[in-house]
Structures are given as C-alpha cells and as structure tokens.
Amino acid sequence: MADLARRLGTALPVAALGVAAIWLSRDFPTVPGQTYGPGLFPAVLGWVLTACALGVALQPAAKQTVSASSEGRLAAAVYALTPAVLLAGWESAGWPILSFALGSLLLAVGRVRWWRCLLGGAMIAVITWVLFPMLLRVPLPRGPLPFIPY
C-alpha cells in the first residue's frame, strides 16, 4: 500500500503536467496556411510526459535516500525559505541587512557558535556588496542604509 502511494506520488505530478500541457496548447493558434502551430510541440511533449508517468507508475517506487533528523529538517526548511524571505524584504530591508541577518541565521542553524555566526554574516554582507554592486555594478537595494556606497 505504501509502495503504491509512493508510486502515485512519483507519477501523478508528471501526468498532471502532461495533461495540463496538452490542455493548454489546444488553444494556441495555427500558423497561417498550415494545420499546425505553436501548440504542436508542447502537445507532443504533454503526451510524452503522460506516457512516462504511466511508465513510472508501473515501476517499483524509488528508495528514499535521505533519512533526516528533525534538526536537519529544520535546517533544510530554513534554507528553503531563505530565498522567499529575501523576496519579501528585498526593497524594504535592502541587501546589506538581509544578507547579514540571513547569513547569521543560516550559519546558526548549521550549529556554528553565535559570535562566529555574526562574524560570518558580516563577512558575507561585505564580500557580496564589494563584489556585486561595487565591482560588477549590480544594483542591489540598500534599504534603510542609503549611505552605503555603490
């Protein structure tokens, strides 16, 4: 039963993607004077994905390779959420504050001593600022620290 659930969990998203590709590409207009158009290639890929999903569902489920501790799961969750936090605070908090705070937090969940976390966070903020805005001219937001040089 667990094997069947795992098989379906592995195959169904692929099948859903395939069906969605076929469904959405139906409405694409054809090239004038031809019977096919921009929908042809995505539709073919949709059918391939659906067929592959069927093939995957018929195979034994893949072994789960990662057996994580709760601490590891928490650390991975913090890491996965970091880009989302960056997106949320990009303009308002600015890169220097975000990179320092998130860098320190990420090091902390990796079980680094608190003072090393703060030092590491500061180093990440300084190095990325020198490298990207100052050398490569990437306009990272300054947030509430407008005096920081580009």
Partner 1 sequence: MDALLRAFTMVGQPEVLLTIVVSSIFGLVVGFIPGLTATMATALLVPFAMFLDPVPAIASIVAATAMAIFAGDIPGTLLRLPGTPASAAYVDQSYRLAMAGRAGEILGINVVFSALGGIFGTIVLVTSAPLLADYALQLSSFEFFWLAVLGLSCAVFVVGDNVAKGLAALAFGLLLATVGRDYTSGFPRFTFDEADLLDGIPFVPALIGFFALPEILRTMLGGAVAHGQPITQAGSIFSGMIHAVWHWRWNFLRSSALGTAVGALPGAGADTAAWTAYAVSKKLTRDPHAWERDSVEGIVDSTSANNAALSGAWIPALVFAIPGDTITAIAIAVLYLKNVTPGPSIFLENAHVLYAVFTTFFVANLLMIPLGWIAIRAAIPILRMPRQVLMAPLLLFACVGAYAVDNNVFGIGVMLACGLVGYWMEHHGYPVGPVVLGMVMGRLVEEHLMTSLIKVQGDLTRFFERPIATALAVFTLIVWLLPLLRWITKRLRRTSATRPASQV
Q: Does 22 bind partner 1 (CB under 8 A)?
A: no
Least distance to partner 1, CB of residue 147, Å? 21
Q: Does 93 bind partner 1 (CB under 8 A)?
A: no
Least distance to partner 1, CB of residue 148, Å? 15
- Which CB sits closer to partner 1, 109 or 148? 109
Rg (CA), the chain: 24
- Which CB sits closer to partner 1, 71 or 146? 71
Q: Does 24 bind partner 1 (CB under 8 A)?
A: yes
Q: Does 2 bind partner 1 (CB under 8 A)?
A: no
Compute the distance between CA of residue 126 and CA of residue 130 in angstroms, rounded to an integer: 6
Compute the distance between CA of residue 122 and CA of residue 99 in angstroms, rounded to an integer: 8
Q: Of 1, 2, 35, 144, which lies in the binding site for partner 1, with binding defined by CB under 8 A?
A: 35
| Angle, CA 68 vertex, CA 65 and CA 73 arms, to 5° | 125
| Angle, CA 147 vertex, CA 122 and CA 103 arms, to 5° | 20
Q: Of 5, 16, 71, 134, which lies in the binding site for partner 1, with binding defined by CB under 8 A?
A: 71
The footprint of partner 1 on this chain (CB under 8 A) covers a number of residues equal to: 68
Compute the distance between CA of residue 90 and CA of residue 96 in angstroms, rounded to an integer: 10
Residues in the chain: 150
Q: Does 106 bind partner 1 (CB under 8 A)?
A: yes
